Structure 1
């Protein structure tokens, strides 16, 4: 099944995507609510009885509004390219566990929405990823058990302000404002059962991933080149805590899936940072296509530098 969230006539609704179009679910509920109530199949069956809408007649929104987004880094080729940009090598720690950071679930944009350049950034970048969506809560899961906790997959673009990211990473706390302004999710959620025939012998999903800038391909990889499966990522995320319905887990950027990696491999000539008017289009086998136009951002609100260091206790 392909399940989308769309906006029409001032109302947000959930629909089932078929070759005939978008069949609205005939009752009010968000996709997250349907997942939490384990009512996705029931809603899809009911939607089939509804008259389909042309996909181009509605505005598609992110498929769901998650409460948490963990973004992993699981493609060695990407990590190696980024390290090369700074004259470095892949650290041994990367191989020990599927590292992730939490990103902003409130900054999601739809699959065809415009994306603003973050305030103060002059080095804006895209990142081609696939995300798994958790369907059932679980704690301390094994990878084998985790497969039953994944309800589906969608395409993720983790937009990145590289100049802001580089500055704040020197504080040794991880990405913050450099990853805070926008992430694209969509165009819809494809349920996990739809992809079982695309698994390779090691359990990885063999899906081709492509990103184009203004219609010209700049990156291509296979999702099967991840170093960890999504089941292993869910198991790791659930260690000592709980993953919950609707949680999103990003694969991390695929090989050649962003400008920063390409800069590390080939330099910046002919590969400028994103500018207003650029259109970034990402397509993943079975999951669909997202496409966002870059538009100017707002001026940053001034925040002063740190106060002078206190020389002693205040009285």
Structure 2
């Protein structure tokens, strides 16, 4: 099943994508309620929805939106090859810290700046705009589970489906703020693209390898030129282990999005800059079109829009460090 949200004229609808058509959910359901109900209930709803022939619309006549409005977005860093390349650009030498191997590290990014298919990104003023090619899991509900402290086998049942994720990055801003040993923050939170739809997890079972990794091919092109390609099975951890780790002493809820982290072998420009020792290929510029395709999912495309200058930033003021009021 493919689940989507779309704009049809002035109306926003949510439902299933069938071949070249979209069909609003039966019974007034929404993506949020379908995710909360879980995969089995979604299959039952799918059967009821397909009977409503009169409500079908050509996919070509609607504009797809981000397929989910996530309560939270966790973005992992699970590709060793990506870490090798980016570290070469940041530190001057390729280095994967020992701590990377210990656990699947992630950061939280902004759920309020989610972009849909074809929606242009409006970056901050930056000289090093970058994309990041990722596969993302979308969490669904499981009866009797609150999504807390899941084991990997139980966590697998919480994966409702998958979508493509582009974690836009302003590398110069990111480099500055991460020197403070915190972040990334403003180098990332201006936009994350998701889409074109959610493909339910059962559709991708044929791509699972013997170790439980999704061996789907992913590629990214800029203005039609192939920049990077990888198999998602090169992740250091399979998705159920990412979900389990996210829930550790915490909680995952329906609608949460968990990004794989950037694919290797050119999954972002930053990796290639580190390997090449120069800004080649060049940073993204206004008008560039980034197209990501992942086998079994589809294609997510977006153009780079005009940058938004937020104005000057006040620097820290020297403080006397007094311990008592004068």
The TM tier, using the shorter chain, reads over 0.9
Q: Matched residues in 2 for 1:201 and 1:311: separation?
A: 59
Q: CA RMSD in A?
A: 1.4
**Matched residue, 1:102:** 108
Normalised by the length of structure 1, the TM-score is 0.96
Is residue 174–residue 184 contact of structure 2 (8 Å, CA) maintained in 1?
Answer: yes
Moved more, 23-32 or 300-309: 23-32
Alignment of 1:100-249 (within 5 A): 100-118=106-124, 120-136=125-141, 137-249=146-258
**Matched residue, 1:87:** 92
Q: Matched residues in 2 for 1:161 and 1:29: separation?
A: 37
| Secondary structure of the corresponding residue to residue 277 of structure 1 | coil
Is residue 24–residue 50 contact of structure 1 (8 Å, CA) maintained in 2?
Answer: no
Is residue 273–residue 280 contact of structure 2 (8 Å, CA) maintained in 1?
Answer: no
| Secondary structure of the corresponding residue to residue 234 of structure 1 | helix
- Tell me by how many angstroms 1:27 deviates: 4.4
Structure 1 runs of 4+ with >4 Å offset: none
| Secondary structure of the corresponding residue to residue 71 of structure 1 | strand
Structure 1 unaligned residues grouped into runs of 5+? none
Aligned residues: 314
Q: Matched residues in 2 for 1:11 and 1:307: separation?
A: 49
| Secondary structure of the corresponding residue to residue 32 of structure 1 | helix
What are the Cα deviations for residues 268-312 of structure 1, in whole angstroms up to 9, with x where unaligned? 354111100100000000100011010112211333111122242
Q: Matched residues in 2 for 1:62 and 1:147: separation?
A: 23
| Secondary structure of the corresponding residue to residue 290 of structure 2 | strand
- Tell me by how many angstroms 1:44 deviates: 2.1
**Matched residue, 1:307:** 317
Normalised by the length of structure 2, the TM-score is 0.93
Is residue 125–residue 274 contact of structure 1 (8 Å, CA) maintained in 2?
Answer: yes
| Secondary structure of the corresponding residue to residue 15 of structure 1 | strand
**Matched residue, 1:11:** 11
**Matched residue, 2:70:** 66
**Matched residue, 1:54:** 58
Q: Matched residues in 2 for 1:260 and 1:28: separation?
A: 44
Is residue 155–residue 186 contact of structure 1 (8 Å, CA) maintained in 2?
Answer: yes
**Matched residue, 1:291:** 301
| Secondary structure of the corresponding residue to residue 242 of structure 1 | coil
Moved more, 226-235 or 4-13: 4-13
Distance verdict in 2 for CA 1:29–1:11, change over 3 Å: farther
Is residue 155–residue 243 contact of structure 2 (8 Å, CA) maintained in 1?
Answer: yes
Structure 2 unaligned residues grouped into runs of 5+? none
| Correspondence 1:268 to 2:278 | yes
Q: Matched residues in 2 for 1:135 and 1:91: separation?
A: 33
Q: Matched residues in 2 for 1:27 and 1:160: separation?
A: 40
Q: Matched residues in 2 for 1:50 and 1:11: separation?
A: 19
| Secondary structure of the corresponding residue to residue 318 of structure 2 | coil
Is residue 20–residue 60 contact of structure 2 (8 Å, CA) maintained in 1?
Answer: no
Moved more, 299-308 or 89-98: 299-308
What are the Cα deviations for residues 228-279 of structure 1, in whole angstroms up to 9, with x where unaligned? 0000001111111111111110000000100000001113354111100100
Moved more, 253-262 or 34-43: 34-43
Q: Matched residues in 1 for 2:140 and 2:274: separation?
A: 37
Distance verdict in 2 for CA 1:306–1:168, change over 3 Å: same
